[in-house]
Amino acid sequence: MTASLYAIPLKRIDGSEATLADYAGRVLLVVNVASKCGLTPQYDGLEALYAKYKDRGLTVIGFPANNFAGQEPGGNDEILEFCRSTYGVDFPMFAKISVKGDDRHPLYDALAGDEDISWNFEKFLIGRDGKVAARFSPKTVPEDAAVVAAIEAELAKN
């Protein structure tokens, strides 16, 4: 991540102000999520990765987005309640944003550049060096060997 990426204003799902600078020096798995998608069960895998690797320096970060087939229609409180009660999500969740189109959030401009986000649950792995180390398609589940190997490789770097 560049210094400018760390400075992009964000809001946590509770409405409090934040930036990714809060996670500087950690490996980040940034995911655009949705509650009413066929891929929503990936929350289980994301939470399992977070639980397994958080003490080694991984933070999974969820960004709810309603850009695909209206699959995240709720408000932030409703989204958080669903994630916690249905999937036991403990990793940081941020306020709903747009990840596609003219109103795409600056974070996703920085992460994806000129490329589009294809669907819910696209994953960006950001290394401790602040650079995008890997990008995984929505259909690549969090527990996929390629995702785990990429996370472990980034965690091994100092």
Task: Answer whether residue 32 shows pLDDT above 90.
Answer: yes
Residue 70 — pLDDT band, cuts 50, 70, 90? very high
3 state SS of 28: strand
pLDDT of residue 140: 98
Q: Which of 37, 39, 141, 155 is catalytic?
A: 37
81: CATH: 3.40.30.10
- Using alpha carbons, select from 126, 125, 124, 141 the residue that is nearest to residue 38: 141
- Give the DSSP H or E segment for 6: helix 3-7
Q: pTM of the full predicted structure?
A: 0.96
Active site residue 37: yes
pLDDT of residue 1: 43
Q: Give the domain extent around 24.
A: 3-156
Looking at the DSSP bridge assignments, the partners of residue 64 are 33
Q: Structurally, how many domains does the chain consist of? A: 1
